[in-house]
């Protein structure tokens, strides 16, 4: 199934807004999809949450304001909390949803390898020597 981009209405629900600027929301969603595709392409169906998250950040704080004072009230936002960007967690979520970025194992053993042990050596080939820890074969 192909990825279906979220709508402006879904962004409004996420932000709990009664009214939303549809054209602006559509543009931010479109740009968030393009940004997500720089990490994973094609986007998996579960990428909707990451796209909405990035678009919501840009919609609520387009100028990347970190500190604002209006009269007696002031607001401080975290550094880098505005504009359209993907967090490290967003990128990890996209990779995980696409089935990438997880741990994997590569077995370098040749298919025809003999599983019999090659060490320690046969005691008869040592000529009666005994192994002493720290000293070796004596």
By three-state DSSP, how is residue 52 classified?
helix
Write down the pLDDT at residue 74.
Answer: 77
Write down the pLDDT at residue 15.
Answer: 87
**pTM, to two decimals:** 0.61
Write down the pLDDT at residue 125.
Answer: 64
Mean pLDDT, residues 104-131: 73
% of residues, the chain, pLDDT over 90: 14
Write down the pLDDT at residue 118.
Answer: 66
CA–CA gap between residue 66 and residue 43 (Å, rounded): 31
By three-state DSSP, how is residue 137 classified?
strand
pLDDT of 29 > 80? The answer is yes
């Amino acid at each position: 199934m192909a990825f279906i981009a979220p709508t402006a209405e879904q962004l409004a629900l996420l932000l709990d807004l009664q009214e939303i600027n549809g054209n602006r929301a559509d543009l931010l969603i479109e740009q968030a999809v393009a940004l997500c595709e720089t990490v994973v392409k094609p986007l998996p169906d579960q990428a909707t949450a990451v796209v909405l998250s990035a678009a919501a950040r840009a919609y609520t704080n387009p100028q990347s304001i970190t500190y604002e004072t209006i009269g007696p009230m002031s607001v401080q936002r975290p550094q880098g909390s505005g504009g359209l960007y993907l967090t490290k967690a967003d990128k990890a979520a996209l990779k995980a949803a696409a089935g990438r970025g997880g741990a994997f194992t590569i077995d370098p053993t040749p298919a025809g390898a003999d599983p019999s042990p090659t060490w320690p050596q046969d005691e008869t080939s040592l000529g009666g020597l005994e192994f002493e820890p720290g000293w070796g074969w004596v």
